[in-house]
Structure 1
Amino acid sequence: MDNREKQTTESIAQTSDYVASYLDKIKTLSNLIAMYPQISEILENPSSKSADGLLTMVNISASSDPRIQTIAVISKNGFAITSNSDMAMPLSRNMMNEEWYKVAVQSNQMPVVTSLRHGDFVMDRENLVISISHEIVDEHGNHLGVVLIDISYRFIEDYISSIDLGERGYAYILDNANNVLYHPDESVFFNEQKKKELVSLAEGTERLPHYFVTSAEIPHSDWRLIGVSSTESTMLLKKKLIEGILLVNFLLIFASIALSVMISRRLTKPIVELQNAMMSLDKSWGHIAVNSNSSVEIVALTTEYNALLDRIKVLTEDIAQKENAKRLFELKALQSQINPHFLYNTLDTILWLAEFGETEKVVAVSKSLGEMLRLSLDIHQTLVPLQSELANTENYLRIQQTRYEDKICYRIQGEEELLSVSVPKLILQPIVENSIYHGIRPQRGKGYIEIVYEKRDGKLIITVSDNGVGYFSSVEENDRNLIKAKLGGIGMKNVDQRIKLLYGNQYGIEVRENQPHGTVVIYTLKCE
């Protein structure tokens, strides 16, 4: 086993442990709720005063973890105490026929994980959740109800995204019935053939060339995590795993604090008052005032809580700084990329031009390509004059004109005094590339691209428009945001992120449909 395969195997095993650890934490939470004092009295008599305390515990537990969508305590008679007021499921004895209810009752009072399903306690029926259920019994073992905790299935993505499986690698999860619980491409859930291929891949009956497949059982569950890695570099794997561990530890610390505060609130009135003060704090990291008239224990607890807030603030700011530095590094790498397919096609164009004796065109295309490479390889330069960016884009357009035998025509115009304005490097060519490949190339007839730059309200506005078929001509409305993020060599999303990172969220790009056909991309940049 080479280093790449060893790293992939270790990463999949570690990630499966992280997922299991989080599921165990949720199971522990369900167990704490199921053993809540006076829960028998509450489920038998919903109007009991003790129900308020249980509701408080449910609400605090739900708010302590953003991945938890709903916590519900459901009696066998249909009464429910829930953290979500928008309950879409009818509360009745019919709930006993739900799969998660049956599984909980048959679990011998042990928390169980239910496979992927649509959330029953939210108005959005498209919301997918993983449910953990726990049977509630009285002191004689009689069935009283069920604790149900719905967690967003996206929590799996939080862990799996830390695995570096290469540019074309991916990971997915199957249960013991070979149902797909997670896959980064959500279209898989609606493609039976693709599901069969994933099962065959996991069982080893199908192999992919140049890929390594490994799997690991997720402890304390009937899930399998399967990793499919390409042969690309894994230099960032260790760093991403460390960041994932820090994130998990932070969430566990925060959840532990919230649960400790909730349990302590039931002990004495001073602790209840302290908890209320904690709940009233906003996100400004403000301290709770120490009441000198309180007991020594309360003063010590308040002081320690304030110190803990300071430590969490430092940790959060440190993580944010590291993430920002990582993002800057990634964006610098992205801005220096040239689409390898474009480079190959250009060299192929030069070859056939040479074969046909088109010497002048060979020289022109080679010169344009050389100037593009020179700008791309200068990784130390983040900002360039608008004139250089336009020249780079025009070099690209000249190459494409030659390749497509003048199927493309273009015009670049604007205010001459703006040519010296500094702009982020390589922000125009990816969008022009989208216009050609996704707008003009699929249509019949000649394509037209226009680039206009002007100063408006103190900002530099650049408009790239085409008369192609449009990016969205064959796409449903709900899929447009996904397309915007994926189009192009470097991609619209990364261009927009680089602009926002340099200038702020009020700057970036906007995509509109051109009338009667085509697409318009509008840049909003600083004019300085």
Structure 2
Amino acid sequence: MKIKTKKSIKRKLLWMIILSSILPLLLLGFFSVFFITRTTNTSLTQRLDEVLLTADDILSSTIESQQFTIKNLKNSLLEHDLIGKETITPDQQKGIETAFFHTLNRDLGAMNLYYVSISGQHVGTDRLPELYSYPTNKNWGVYRFAQNEDTHFYANAYKVNDSFYNAYSIVYSVIQDDVHTGYLILDVSTEYIQSLFSSVKGTSYGYVQFILASKYDTVIYNDSYFYNNIGLIKNVLAQDGTNTGVSSLKENTLKTIENAAYGYQIYGLIHNRLVYDQGKMLASLIVLLIITTIILSFYIGNGLTQSIVTPINSLVNKMNAYKNYDSTLEILDQKDEISRLSNQFDLLIDRIEKYHKLNLEKQDLMRQAEIKSLMSQINPHFINNTLDSIKWKAKLKEYDDIQEMVTKLSVLLLSAMNNRDQFCTLEEEIEMVSSYISIQQIRYEDRLNFMLGIQSEAYCIQIPRLILQPIIENSIIHGIEPMDRKGIVEVSGWVDDTHDYLYLTVADNGVGTDACFEDISHSGIGLQNVNHRIKLHYGNQYGLWWESKKDIGTVVYIKIPISREEAYDSCTGSGR
């Protein structure tokens, strides 16, 4: 009968698969957006720093080159006596114009050169601006700057005409024989600055917008979308209260660099659009991945959970087909297939444990029966050999020996017939062996000598009954009886230093053999019997083994484990 559950593990597994798929993606997406945005902002700022450094290098090196050029031009004009006088002759004017056009060359149109004498005469590449009128403006602008400043760079923003917007000027005073005779002026347009900055405007984050200002916050160049230069530096770019560092202007990132040598500042602005676009694109990608993951997780999870739940349902239904037996186990609430399977599994384990316990009891009974059967094989074996000896004594009419042998045989029979106890102490086993040896010494007369060497604390150790007598009998019959000299049988026993094992040996000086123990033991009932009984009692790692050499003798070894109670309690009460 199939049983349907109200709640299924399939739904739980499906939700676990979907959640385990999208949660890491959500966390990864969140941290990715955060770190990418932060890293991009940092990279953008670093890139803007690099651009400003490059722009400053370009501009400062250009100004330095221009100063050098104008200084050389001044010296050349003085050398050729074209300037240095208060007045300018037509020939001098022509020579100055030629030198100016030759100096500007391809930059003509982006720069203008003027020479103004103190008499008010002037020569230039373009019409002289009104603000350069001399001596009208001699105390203003470039003239005042040339008189009071050491540097020759002057931030000089003004409109010459619709095609020429001046940014800065290079001004040199002309002095001849310690007499001030005029001024040499180079005007540089904003168009020329734009051409200088164009090589560094482009970045991977977008175009950089430049604003060039004097140390007095006068804007002399501006290619940003802040077209109104009035109050730009003070009211807009310095809104954070400083002209250095980063200032966020809504959607832009701003950085500045100052050139103390020439007294100007370069402002660099770059739009944050790329940062926003990257974050937006990444967020959109993550949302798309999450939706895709949910769909894929649903289909894959549905198939996977189905492949898991179907066999579980089948197994649960099969286990439910078996009738419940009497069990004391507490049955849990069967919420789903796993709970039902767990309950049935607990019942199965309980049933197996009971069957295992019954099986162990049966095996123990069978082992006890087998041991008793083996002991019953020993009794007639040595009785038959003893009676055979008595028979020969009767034929020889040695009645005293017969009496001794019958007395010792009665001791042996009483011990052998004690089937209630499968174990005895080593001391009891030695007493029985001594009776057996006495019988055999009467039979073999002076041909057999018996030696005993037992450690005192070994006498109280429990051992299986009748394990030494068959080995001694085997030594006498197969080792000593075939030879024509006096035989010796020695029984030894001792406990190892750890008190974990009892070692027993039966040694003889008989004929010996080169055969291995396994070949001999299979042919001898006594040895095989003892070996098998020891293994049944203690396990296959215990039993008999021997060392035997032909014409030298044989030593049989027995190793028996000792329990702690035997090692201490029994030995304490033995009196030995």
Give the TM-score, by structure 2 length. Answer: 0.36
- Structure showing greater Rg: 2
State the structure with bigger RCO (CA 8 A, min sep 6), 1 or 2: 2
Which has the larger helix fraction? 2
Give the TM-score, by structure 1 length. Answer: 0.39
